[in-house]
């Protein structure tokens, strides 16, 4: 049974893989046997640390710099991974940014930056990776959406809109490419404890959020990674256009 969850022989590209949820996904994919490509935009040291931790376990991994909000760089990222490892079996579109602004104070530049990274980036990377997947007749693409794309959130209209857009993109791609052997699904985490959010946990807002969760604990990056690994694996062969919600019960479908 465990072989169905194995990623041995597969190449997995994780965008935004140098920290937080992306780093947990990259490490978990390597632990499951995949060759891992870690995409990052700015923090080369953090990406190198993730790569080193994977290589210490005897697995194969490499880092690739790209700004996925730029279509040319997204194309180059996919091409570089394919040149290095021969193929891409799994693509995890995780890269994203989340500035906060009241809607009427949100500048055009900030709106564009969020949508280009959080929605256009996954489109660019998927479009670049799909030809190889179509040629082989197999592949799995996982979009990292968010609970906020399902419920909306004040002062995060751009982020919520982009993450909601990912869910529509997921379903459209699943219908278009499922008949060609490619599965496209999404994972929508709730508030997850990372370096960026850890300080919120002990605030009034954090305690209020925690009290609303049936699980009575916040998800960790590894909880999100488990959902992603399932969707990447053969165990999810009948999952097309679906969204998994590792959110502790913060949003129920």
Predicted TM-score (pTM) of the model is 0.94
3-class secondary-structure state, position 123: helix
Please tell me the predicted confidence (pLDDT) of residue 249: 77
Banded pLDDT at 197 (limits 50, 70, 90)? low
Mean pLDDT, rounded, of the chain: 93
Average pLDDT score over residue span 151-167: 96
Residue 175 in tokens: 């219908």
What is the average pLDDT across 19-36? 97
Quote the pLDDT of residue 209: 72
In angstroms, rounded to a whole number, what is the distance separating the alpha carbons of residues 80 and 23? 20
Flag whether pLDDT at 35 surpasses 60: yes
Tokens 């590792």 belong to 246
The residue assigned the tokens 């394919």 is 82
Q: How many CB atoms lie within 10 A of CB 117?
A: 23
Query: What is the pLDDT at residue 61?
Result: 98
18 close to 219: Cβ distance less than 8 angstroms: no
Beta bridge pairs of residue 187: 144, 244
Given a cut of 80, whether residue 155 has pLDDT beyond it is yes
Note the residue count of the chain.
253
The per-residue pLDDT for 216 is: 77
Catalytic residue among 64, 120, 124, 159: 159
According to DSSP, the residues that pair with 139 across neighbouring strands are: 182
Contact between 190 and 217 under an 8 Å Cβ cutoff? The reply is: no
Please say if 159 is a catalytic residue. yes
The closest alpha carbon to 242, from 178, 191, 195, belongs to 178
Name the percent of the chain lying above pLDDT 70: 93
Q: Which burial class, exposed, middle or buried, applies to 230 when counting CB atoms under 10 A from its CB (0-12, 13-18, 19+)?
A: middle
Say if CB 24 and CB 221 are below 8 A apart. Answer: yes
Does position 193 have pLDDT exceeding 50, yes or no? yes
Render pLDDT for 82-118 as a digit per residue (tens, 0 to 9). Answer: 999 999 999 999 999 999 999 999 999 999 999 999 9
Q: What is the pLDDT of residue 253?
A: 75
- Residue 54: which of 37, 34, 30 has the closest Cα? 30
- Domains, the chain, in order of start with CATH, read 2-244 (3.40.50.720)
Q: Please state at what angle helix 71-85 crosses helix 121-136, rounded to 10 degrees.
A: 40
The confidence band for 1, taking pLDDT boundaries of 50, 70 and 90, is: very low
Taking alpha carbons only, the member of 31, 38, 34, 36 closest to residue 16 is 38
Residue 59 has pLDDT above 50, yes or no: yes
pLDDT tens figures, 165-178: 999 999 999 999 99
How would residue 242 be classed by pLDDT, with cut points 50, 70 and 90? Answer: very high
Give the closest residue to 77 by CA, choosing from 90, 97, 63. Answer: 63
Per-residue pLDDT band at 202 (split at 50, 70, 90): low
- Where is average pLDDT lowest: 37-41, 101-105, 186-190, 193-197? 193-197
């Amino acid at each position: 049974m465990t072989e169905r969850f194995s990623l041995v022989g597969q190449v997995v590209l994780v965008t935004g893989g140098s920290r937080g949820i992306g780093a947990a996904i990259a490490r978990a994919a390597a632990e499951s046997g995949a060759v891992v490509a870690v995409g990052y935009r700015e923090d080369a040291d953090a990406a190198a640390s993730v790569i080193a931790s994977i290589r210490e376990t005897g697995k194969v991994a490499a880092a690739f710099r790209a700004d996925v909000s730029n279509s040319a760089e997204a194309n180059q990222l996919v091409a570089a991974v394919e040149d290095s490892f021969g193929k891409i079996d799994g693509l995890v579109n995780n890269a994203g940014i989340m500035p906060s602004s009241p809607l009427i104070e949100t500048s055009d530049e900030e709106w564009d930056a969020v949508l280009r990274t959080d929605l256009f980036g996954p489109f660019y990377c998927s479009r670049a990776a799909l030809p190889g997947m179509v040629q082989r007749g197999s592949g799995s693409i996982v979009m990292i959406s968010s609970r906020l794309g399902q419920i909306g959130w004040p002062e995060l209209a751009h982020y919520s809109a982009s993450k909601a857009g990912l869910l529509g993109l997921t379903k459209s791609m699943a219908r278009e490419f499922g008949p060609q052997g490619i599965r496209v699904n999404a994972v929508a985490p709730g508030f997850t404890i990372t370096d960026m959010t850890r300080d919120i946990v002990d605030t009034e807002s954090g305690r209020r959020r925690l009290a609303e969760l049936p699980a009575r604990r916040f998800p960790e990056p590894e909880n999100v990674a488990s959902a992603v690994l399932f969707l990447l694996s053969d165990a999810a062969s009948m999952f097309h256009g679906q969204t998994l919600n590792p959110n502790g019960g913060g949003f129920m479908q």
